[in-house]
Structure 1
Amino acid sequence: MYKVLLIEDDNMVGDMSTMYLSEEGYAVKRAANGKEGMLQLEQFQPDLIILDIVLPDVNGIDLCMELRKVSPVPILAVSMRTDVLDRVDALVAGADDYLCKPFSMRELTARVAALLRRTHMNPQDYAYQSMPLLKLMEDGDPVTLDYERRAIFVNQQFVETTYSEFEIMKLFVVNKEKVFSRDELINALRGIDSFVNDRSIDVHIANLRKKIEHDPKEPKLIKTVWGIGYKYMGGSS
């Protein structure tokens, strides 16, 4: 049974979320503020954290950064704030996904399930035995995608990615050396990432470079095409 830590000060949202997640088979522990959330992180050892960005005692973005420093578990940020900059700030602070209030309980449980599914894939058991089944790129390309399991391998090593990062990478590898404008990447994520914009695309690209590039500051795989957007070079660079 997966354990979910819910850091939420709104009693109505907290009670409803706890009820629905419990009905889906999760063990849920709720904390009403940031201080209690940090304490429960140590005591409860959750598999996933749902973090309200607006809390009574701490700044939720700061708390997200503190949580990320001490724990690798996925963080789903939730907030009444719908401004794109708030969402980008949460992603930069370490959140894996962002959900705007009000949200449906069905969407909440779907987001939780998706984050846990990606996080708890066992790379050691699965990386090498699955390789022959993958759609391999041409020789010399260090990046391989498993479309069925939505997994990315770099030099045959599994790397964790968010849903949006995988979609961008899939677009890149099947259209090698094609230049994608930011608008094209935004359109590709419509319906997956409701609040995507130019800045969040840049955040996704920066995160992908950290995960697949040997030196993210001098990228060889995902190139910036100044004034236009990005292109994927694969093993040709």
Structure 2
Amino acid sequence: MSKILIIEDDVSIGEMMSIYLYEDGYEVKRAENGRQGEALFREFQPDMIILDLMLPDMDGIHLCTTIRHTSNIPILMVSAKNEVSDRVKGLQTGADDYLCKPFSMRELSARIQALLRRSNTFTQQSLSSTDVLKQQGIQLDFEKRCLYVDGKNIETTFSEFEIMKLFWQNQGRVYSREELLNRVRGFDSQVTERAIDVHIANLRKKVEDDPKEPKHIKTVWGVGYKFLFT
């Protein structure tokens, strides 16, 4: 049974999500503010977090950043703010998906299933030593889901690692934003293809010597992106 932590200060929305997900077969705990959410994150050790952007005691962006310092757990951010800039900010902070209020419980369930399915697949797989790959100072460990650059462990979000893994396994292949989005999300997402640009920008900062002049993660103008070793 997967464990889901809901950090949502709106009582009616929080209870609705809790009841629906409990009936869907999840073990659910809910926090009504950021501090309580932090405590439950450590104690409950959830498999996924649903995080409201606006909390009474702290900004959801700040809490997302804090969680990302210690964990790559899938994070679904929810908010009444539906501006593109808000969605982009949430993704830049480390959220794996962004859902605008109001939303249906069926859509919430679909998003959760997609994120957990990919997370559980890679956690449960028994991978051989050949899945630790290293080239030109970049190392990718599929089993531990770790990215190393020049021997240093680089923190990545769930989505960033998925994109990097896809690139690594298919070097030189050009992927459109839509293809990358489908790979990461598994379903249509309100965050649109702009989310991929955010993830690519973040990855370039982490693996490139000069993100403005990338040697590995190349833009193919009018199409998308590809990954190369020079």
- Select the structure of larger CA radius of gyration: 1
Task: Identify which of 175, 193, 198 aligns with 1:203.
Answer: 198
Q: 1:99, CA displacement in angstroms?
A: 0.7
Residue 2 of structure 1 aligns with an amino acid whose one-letter code is S
Cα contact 2:7–2:37 (8 A) shared by 1 = yes
- C-alpha RMSD over aligned residues: 3.7
Aligned twin of 1:73:
73
- Deviations 1:83-107, CA, capped at 9 Å, x for gaps: 0110111111111111111111111
Aligned twin of 1:62:
62
* TM-score, normalisation: structure 1: 0.70
Aligned twin of 2:31:
31
Residue 228 of structure 2 aligns with an amino acid whose one-letter code is G
CA–CA distance in 2 between the matches of 1:204 and 1:10? 30
Aligned twin of 1:101:
101
- In the alignment, structure 1 residue 232 sits paired with structure 2 residue 226: yes
Task: Identify which of 150, 159, 162 aligns with 1:162.
Answer: 159
Residue 26 of structure 1 aligns with an amino acid whose one-letter code is Y
Change in Cα spacing, 1:209 to 1:117, as seen in structure 2 (3 Å) is farther
Q: Which runs of 5+ in 2 are unaligned?
A: 146-156
**1:144-163 map, 5 Å:** 157-158=141-142, 159=145, 161-162=158-159
Q: 1:122, CA displacement in angstroms?
A: 4.1
Aligned twin of 2:88:
88
CA–CA distance in 2 between the matches of 1:215 and 1:189? 26
CA–CA distance in 1 between the matches of 2:106 and 2:222? 38
CA–CA distance in 2 between the matches of 1:84 and 1:46? 28
- In the alignment, structure 1 residue 50 sits paired with structure 2 residue 46: no
CA–CA distance in 1 between the matches of 2:78 and 2:67? 15
CA–CA distance in 1 between the matches of 2:191 and 2:97? 11
Residue 194 of structure 1 aligns with an amino acid whose one-letter code is Q
Residue 126 of structure 1 aligns to a residue whose secondary structure is coil
**1:136-147 map, 5 Å:** none
CA–CA distance in 1 between the matches of 2:115 and 2:105? 15
- In the alignment, structure 1 residue 185 sits paired with structure 2 residue 177: yes
Change in Cα spacing, 1:124 to 1:189, as seen in structure 2 (3 Å) is closer
Change in Cα spacing, 1:94 to 1:155, as seen in structure 2 (3 Å) is closer
Q: 1:127, CA displacement in angstroms?
A: 2.9
Q: 1:63, CA displacement in angstroms?
A: 1.5
* TM-score, normalisation: structure 2: 0.72
Aligned twin of 1:115:
115
Identity percentage of aligned residues: 46
CA–CA distance in 1 between the matches of 2:17 and 2:111? 13
CA–CA distance in 2 between the matches of 1:58 and 1:100? 19
